[in-house]
Amino acid sequence: MKAKHGILIILVLIVAAGALISLRQPRSADITGLTYEQLCNKNGDQWMVMEPWVDGKKISDTPCAGCMIADNHFCTTEEYTGYIKTLQPGGQSNTMETEHPMEHNAMTAHAGSKNSVGIHIYNIEFVRSNFVSGEQSELIFKIKDSSGNPVSDIEIVHDKIMHIVLVRSDLKYFDHIHPEQKELGAFSVPYTFYSPGNYRIWIDFTIDGMQHIVDFDASVSGTLVSPEPDKMQGISVIMLDPLDSVIKSGEVTELRFSVEESGMPVEIIEKFLDANAHMIAIDEELEEFNHMHDEELDGDNILSFQHIFDKMGKYKLWVQFSVGGRVRTAEFLVDVI
């Protein structure tokens, strides 16, 4: 998630930092005289039994008792204290407990053709049906906790309780839709696929401040191929050259776009899902999914996002914003070296 910061007077920064430091003591990596669980609790992190995770990705299906910090669940003391030492020299975490926007990782899980998948301490079920192009169907997802109880404490993020993105395997037929909670822990939205083929469907939701992204594969039968609606409706979007001329994997890149109509700037004065604009980036293997935002509604015609592409290759970008009360979606294909 992108955030822009204005220039602040140094004195204000010092006072604000001091106030934040007083809110929480630094984490400690010193295990002397403590058990692993005691150190975890002392640092204000969460002790639980679940599969091990690193940077939001599950690394084993074998549950363990361990400490949860950010989007990591460590099975051993050494892994936990080693992570703390990487946060800040001297074995202490950042006392202000804030992550740089570019360092944020969501918890992720890939279900593929399975009907359900575990993520963090939850189980996500995709209620499959016979999807046929041109016929309305229902996309239904159910979220349960480790005890099998429906989950109800999902947070509203960017005006919606859940975001769904679906793309055909050739990176065509993109859509960004939003289900509603029909019953406790169950979310659904009616949907008509434009074309047959294989699709990947990502669901994006947040619980206790932690973003969770799960993807499922779905096969759509039928022969009807309908053209996608005009997503720009007279508006054009021009991708401006990156400041370094190229997009490099593993490095922060600012992606900027100019919104125009008939060669004239179109000022963005409307919010779309509580942001200036949204951008979704997916690689050609459908393995890397990223959902970013331009949070600053500054009234100009430039949309700006910061992102780190994890690997080299081709990515498809979809930039979404609102003009005249209508959502516009511009598509771009970029090469990352």
Instruction: State the chain's mean pLDDT as an integer.
Output: 86
Common-topology check for domains 105-220 and 236-336:
yes
pLDDT 10s digits, 185-222: 999 999 999 999 999 999 999 998 889 999 999 999 99
Which residues, 6+ apart, have CB-to-CB distance to 292 below 8 Å?
1, 2, 278, 279, 280, 281, 305, 306, 307
pTM: 0.76
Does residue 167 have a pLDDT over 80? yes
Q: What is the pLDDT of residue 63?
A: 85
pLDDT 10s digits, 247-281: 999 898 999 999 999 999 999 999 999 999 999 99
Which residues, 6+ apart, have CB-to-CB distance to 28 below 8 Å?
39, 42, 43, 84, 91, 92
- The conformation of residue 8, written as its DSSP 8-state character, comes to -
Provide the sign of the torsion angle of the four alpha carbons 1, 321, 170, 161, taken in this order: positive
pLDDT 10s digits, 58-115: 888 888 999 988 788 999 999 999 888 887 654 444 433 433 333 446 789 999 999 9
Annotation: CATH topology of 236-336: Immunoglobulin-like (2.60.40)
For the chain, the structural domain boundaries read 25-94, 105-220, 236-336
Cα 143 to its chain centre, rounded Å, is 18
CATH class of 105-220: mainly beta
What average pLDDT does range 126-145 have in this prediction? 96
Q: Are 243 and 306 in contact (CB under 8 A)?
A: no
Q: Is 85 helix (H, G, I), strand (E, B) or coil?
A: helix
* Cα separation, 54 vs 71, whole angstroms: 7
